[in-house]
Structure 1
Amino acid sequence: MRKWSVPTWVFVAFGLLLNIISALMTNFSIDHAMREANGMIQQQESNEKLIGLTWQQIETIERKRELVLILTSIEDVNHQPLAASVKEQVIAEVDDWLNISLSDLSIVEIPALMQRMNDVQAEYRHKIDRLYIQNLALAQSYQRVMESISRQRNLALFLQVLGLALMLARDLRWRELK
């Protein structure tokens, strides 16, 4: 009966091949996934900053609302019109922030102005909601990418260990022949 034997160089070559595959996985696949994950983190941070800035805009509109209400109340209570320069400045600021042209800053204009402020604030809140939902989706995608990276690293490590074991078979075979 003939004993079946695999040449040692086949084990060594296969072990070397497994180590090369492991190195290529680490270099290309895992590095690409890490760049993708880092891009997701940067996008989340960018969205967080944008949420903060948008919230500040909402608060600024609220401060403008308070200013307009106070000035019109003062004008109404004192039965004296505001100084023209003050009115012009407030009207210009309202126009810059809300893209609405006011003819005069008076009690008559207040309901339309308040509605426009509410509409702009609602738009900003909707923008914040969209960015928040986008961040949630990015967090889920990031988690999936990190799980994939973990699996790939485990596979690469397994291939390295198996490849080294096959290369060590050469040394074991050499000792066996002595």
Structure 2
Amino acid sequence: GVIMNIVSALIVHTFVERNMHQVDDLMQQSSRVDSRIDTLWENYRSLQDQQMYFTTLLLTANPGDQLEAAQTLVREALSTLLTRQKLTDQEIAPGPVQVAQLEALISAIQQSLLQHIDAIYLEKLSVEQQRMRITESNERLNSIALFLQLLGLILVLARDLARRD
């Protein structure tokens, strides 16, 4: 009976504690993935705002120096966005930036962000599945440990009752 209680304590201490550390690590990893997804979504929303700003800038700029400055600003911003997203297959056509070209490039960048978000979300699902498997394993181990403790207690009580008689 006492041996069963010792085995139960060893199961809880050795396996369950180790698994709990793994669960904590997986929860932290999941939290980091959530932060990355939030950042990417913020970038996605920011692109929508930038698209509206650049479109307005291009459509309202007066011909001449103001339009050239607007074109330069939009071209540099788009170039930076394409480089940041590593979209080497997209490029800005020579000449003035047209609204349709602006929309197409921003759309390509947004698609890239969405694909990246999807990939990261799949990573999060994998982490969550691992966490659930470990949690289920812990529940089984706790049940086994509780069973061994109860069985050990029953055996100790049975021995004590047998000694009284």
Question: Shorter-chain-normalised TM-score: which range?
Answer: 0.7 to 0.9
Q: Which residue of 1 aligns with 2:34?
A: 48
When structure 1 is superposed on structure 2, of 64-73 and 18-27 the one drifting more is 64-73
When structure 1 is superposed on structure 2, of 130-139 and 65-74 the one drifting more is 130-139
When structure 1 is superposed on structure 2, of 117-126 and 136-145 the one drifting more is 136-145
Q: Quick check: 1:91–1:104 contact (8 Å CA) kept in 2?
A: no
Distance 1:172 1:68 in 2: 87
Distance 1:41 1:106 in 2: 49
Whichever of the two has the greater Rg, that structure is 1
Matched, 1:138 2:122: no
TM-score (norm 1): 0.74
Q: 1:106 aligned to 76, 96, 103, which one? A: 96
Distance 1:161 1:43 in 2: 37
Q: 1:57 aligned to 43, 54, 62, which one? A: 43
**How well do the aligned residues superpose, as a CA RMSD in angstroms?**
2.7
SS at match of 2:66: coil
Change in Cα spacing, 1:82 to 1:103, as seen in structure 2 (3 Å) is farther
Q: Quick check: 2:30–2:127 contact (8 Å CA) kept in 1?
A: yes
Matches of residues 21-170 of structure 1 in structure 2 within 5 Å? 21-75=7-61, 78-82=62-66, 88-99=72-83, 106-108=96-98, 110-170=99-159
The percent of aligned pairs where both chains have the same amino acid is 26
Provide Cα deviations, 1:134-155, integer angstroms capped at 9, x if missing partner. 3333333333222221111011
Provide Cα deviations, 1:95-132, integer angstroms capped at 9, x if missing partner. 33222886988345x54443332222111101111222
Q: Which residue of 1 aligns with 2:86?
A: none
Q: Quick check: 1:72–1:106 contact (8 Å CA) kept in 2?
A: no
When structure 1 is superposed on structure 2, of 80-89 and 113-122 the one drifting more is 80-89
Q: Quick check: 1:64–1:94 contact (8 Å CA) kept in 2?
A: no
TM-score (norm 2): 0.79
When structure 1 is superposed on structure 2, of 61-70 and 22-31 the one drifting more is 61-70
Q: Which residue of 2 aligns with 1:3?
A: none
Distance 2:12 2:111 in 1: 47
In the alignment, structure 2 segments of 5+ residues that lack a partner are 84-89
Q: Which residue of 2 aligns with 1:173?
A: 162
Q: Aligned residue pairs: how many?
A: 159
